[in-house]
Structure 1
Amino acid sequence: MDVSKIIIPGDTPGIEWRLPVLRFMGHDPKAPKTYIQAALHAGELPGTVLLHFLCERLRQAENQGGIAGDITIVPHANPIGAAQSHFGELQGRFDLGSRTNFNRDFPLISIADRATLVEDLNDYPATDRLKRQLLHMALGADLVIDLHCDDESLQYAYIDEAFWPEAADLAAALDMEAVLLSDGESSAFEEAVGFAWKYEIPGERQSRPPGKLSVTVELRGKRDVDPVLAKKDAEGLWRFLATRGIVNDGRPLATAFSGPAVPLDNVEIVRAPEGGAVLFHCNIGERIMQGDLLATIVTRPGQPGGSIDLTAPQDGLILTRRSDRLVRRRGDLMKIACSSPSKASRRAGALEN
C-alpha cells in the first residue's frame, strides 16, 4: 500500500490541511480501476471505519498478489470540514466560510478536460481546491464510490439512471434496502463524475457510459459507527470488488438485489408545517399505508389544539428519519420510497441541500 498526502494550503496564513490518499497497485492493466472515498460530509463516519477494515483485507491481498485493478482510497475526504466546529458541534456538511454544501458545486466538465481541474489551483479558495483534486483523482478510475450516511436511515444508495441496473451487484453486495435512481442533474460529487463520463465528447451526451459506475452509498445513520456493521459492510464491498474482478477471490457469483429501486420523483419528503417537538409514530424500515399516522408536532405544549398530526401521503417504505426532535417550520422529518410519484413538485437534481 502506498500512502501519500495532498497538501491543501489554507486561505489565511499559518493553516494547511493534509489529505491522506491510500493506493493499491493492481497487476492487470485490463482490470477496472476503482476510487472510493468517505466522509466528504466530515461528520459522516460509517464509511471511514468501513474503509479502515477494508484496507486490512486489501493489504493481505496485496501481499499475496491478489489485487488485479488499481484501487485508490481516501478514507476521510474532507479535512477542512472536520476542522470546522461551531460552539462545540462539528459543522461538516456546510463550509462555514461559503455556506456551501461540501457535496455540491463540483465542476461539471468533460472527461477530456480532466487535466484542467488541477491547473492554476492557487486561483481557487481551499474548499474548491479540495473538490477539484478529489474529482481529478476519481476521474482516473472506472468505478467511483462515495460513502456517506443519512441521519436515522436504512442502507440505501443514490445511483444515476445511466448506471442502473448494472449497479445492482453493488446494491446486493452491500445489502442495501433501497436504491434511489437520480437524474444526474446536480453538482454533487458522484453526479459530477457521471457528467464527465457522459460528456466524454464535449456537447455530446452518452446515455450509458460503458464500463463505468459512479454512486453515492448511504451507510445507514450517523450513529451507526459500529465495528460489527463496519466489518459487515467492508466484507460486502470486498465481494463487490471480487465480483467485478478487481480483487482475486474466485469471482464469486453476484447475489440479487431485492429492494425497491425508485426514481427521486417517487420519494415523499415529509416536512413539518410548523416548528415544535417531534413525536414519531413510525420507525425507519416500516412499510406504511396511505393515511397512516407518521408523526405529531407539538407546537404549543399544554394548549388546546397545540399539536399537529401528519399522515402518510401514499403507501411506501420509510427510508430515513431525523434524529433531532426539535424541528423548524418546513424542516424535513422523513423520506418515504414509494411506487408512485409524489404530488409535491421537485426541481431536477438532489433531493435536499
Structure 2
Amino acid sequence: MEVSEIIIAGDTPGLEWRLPVLRFAGSNPDAPSVYMQAALHANELPGTAVLHFLCQTLREAEAEGRIAGTIVIVPQANPIGASQSHFGELQGRFELGTRTNFNRDFPLISLSDRDTLMEDLKHFPATEQLKRQLLHMALGADLVLDLHCDDESLQYAYIDDAFWPEASDLAAALDMDAVFLSDGESSAFEEAVGHAWKYEMPGEKRSVLPGKLAVTLELRGLRDVYPDMARKDADGIWTFLAARGVVVDTNVSLPSFVGPAVPLDNIEMVRSPEAGTVLFHRDIGDPVVEGDLLATIVTRPGQPDGSVEIRAPQAGLIVTRVSDRLVRRRADLMKIACDLPSRALRKAGALED
C-alpha cells in the first residue's frame, strides 16, 4: 500500500490542508480500477470506519498478490469540514465561509476535459481545490464509491439509472435495504462523475454505461459507527470487488438483491407543516400504508389544539428519520420509499440541500 498526501492551500496565511491518499497497485491492467472515499460530509463517519477495516483486508490480499485492479482510497475526504467544530459540534456538511454543501457544485465536465480540473489550482478557494482534486482522482477509475450516511437510517444507495440493474451486485453484496434510482441531474460528487462519463465526448450523451459505476452509499445513520457494522460492510465491499474482478477471491458468492429499487419521484419526503416538538409513532424499517400515523408535532404545548398529526401519504417503507426532536416549519422528517410516484412536486436533482 502506497500512502501519499495532497496539499491544499488554505484561504488565509499560514494555513494548508493535508489529504491522505492510499493506493493499492493492481497486477492486471484489464481489471477494473476503483476509487473510494468517505466523509466528504466530514461528520459522516461510518464510511471512514468501513474503509479502515477494508484496507486491512486489502493489505493482506496485496501481500498474497490478489489485487488485480488498482484501488485508490481516500478514507477522510474532507479535512476542511473536519476542522469546523463550533460550540462543541462538528459542522461537516456545509462550508461555513460560503454556506455551500461539500457534496454539491462539483464541476460538470466531459471526461475528455478531466485534466483541466488540475489547471491553475492555486487560483481557486480551498474547497474548490478539494473538489477538483477528488473528482480528478475519481475520473481515473471505472468504479467509484462515495461513502456517506443519513441521520437515522436504513442502509441504502443513490444509483443513477445509467448503472442499473448492473449495479444490483453492489446492493446485494452490502445487503442494502433499498436503492434510490437517481436522475443524474445534480452537481453532487457521484453525479458529476456520471456526467463526465455520459458526456465522454462533449455533446454526445450516453444513457447506458456498462462496466462503470458511480454511487453514493448511505451507510445507515450518523451514530452507526460500530466495529461489527463496519467489518460487515467492509466484507460486503470486498465481495463486490471480488465479483467485479478487482480482487481475487474464489470463495465469494453473490446473492440476488431483493430490496426495493425506486426512482426519486417515488420517494415521499415527509415534512413538518409547523414548528414544534416531534413525537414519532413509526421508526425506520417500518412498512406503512396510506393514512398511518407517522408523527405528532406539538406546536403549542399544553393547549387543547396544540398538536398536529402527520400521516403517510401512501404505502411504503420508512428508510430515514430525522434525529432532531425540535423542528422548524417544513423541516424534513422522513423519507419513505414507495411503489408509486409522490403527488408532491419535485425538482430534478438531489432530494435535500
- The amino acid that maps onto 1:268 is E
Give the conservation status (yes or no) of the 8 Å contact 1:245–1:251: no
How far apart are the structure 1 equivalents of 2:214 and 2:221?
21
Tell me the SS of whatever aligns to 1:72. Answer: strand
- The amino acid that maps onto 2:179 is V
- Deviation of 1:85 (Å): 1.7
Who is 2:320 aligned against? 320
- Deviation of 1:210 (Å): 2.6
Tell me the SS of whatever aligns to 1:304. Answer: coil
The alignment's TM-score, normalised by the length of structure 1, stands at 0.99
- The amino acid that maps onto 1:49 is A
- The amino acid that maps onto 2:47 is G
How far apart are the structure 1 equivalents of 2:28 and 2:74?
22
- The amino acid that maps onto 2:55 is C
- Deviation of 1:251 (Å): 6.6
Who is 2:270 aligned against? 270
How far apart are the structure 1 equivalents of 2:85 and 2:325?
21
How far apart are the structure 2 equivalents of 1:206 and 1:247?
28
How far apart are the structure 2 equivalents of 1:253 and 1:109?
37
RMSD: 0.6
- The amino acid that maps onto 2:5 is K
Who is 1:259 aligned against? 259
Give the conservation status (yes or no) of the 8 Å contact 1:39–1:76: yes
Matches within 5 A, 1:12-27: 12-27=12-27
How far apart are the structure 2 equivalents of 1:302 and 1:203?
61
- Deviation of 1:88 (Å): 1.6
1:59 has 2:52 as partner: no
How far apart are the structure 2 equivalents of 1:86 and 1:208?
44
Who is 2:91 aligned against? 91
Who is 1:130 aligned against? 130
Give CA deviations for 1:14-46 in whole Å, capped at 9, x if unaligned.
111100000000100000000000000000000
Who is 2:4 aligned against? 4
- The amino acid that maps onto 1:219 is L
Give the conservation status (yes or no) of the 8 Å contact 1:244–1:251: no
Matches within 5 A, 1:29-44: 29-44=29-44
Give the conservation status (yes or no) of the 8 Å contact 1:243–1:251: no
Tell me the SS of whatever aligns to 2:94. Answer: coil
Who is 1:329 aligned against? 329
Matches within 5 A, 1:72-151: 72-151=72-151
- Deviation of 1:122 (Å): 1.0
Who is 2:305 aligned against? 305
The alignment's TM-score, normalised by the length of structure 2, stands at 0.99
Q: Percent identity?
A: 73
Tell me the SS of whatever aligns to 1:53. Answer: helix
Give CA deviations for 1:33-92 in whole Å, capped at 9, x if unaligned.
000000000000000000000000000000010100000000000000000122221110
Q: Extract unaligned runs of 5+ from structure 1.
A: none
Who is 2:69 aligned against? 69
The runs of 4+ residues in structure 1 deviating greater than 4 Å are none
How far apart are the structure 2 equivalents of 1:178 and 1:166?
15
Give the conservation status (yes or no) of the 8 Å contact 1:32–1:69: yes
How far apart are the structure 2 equivalents of 1:251 and 1:202?
42
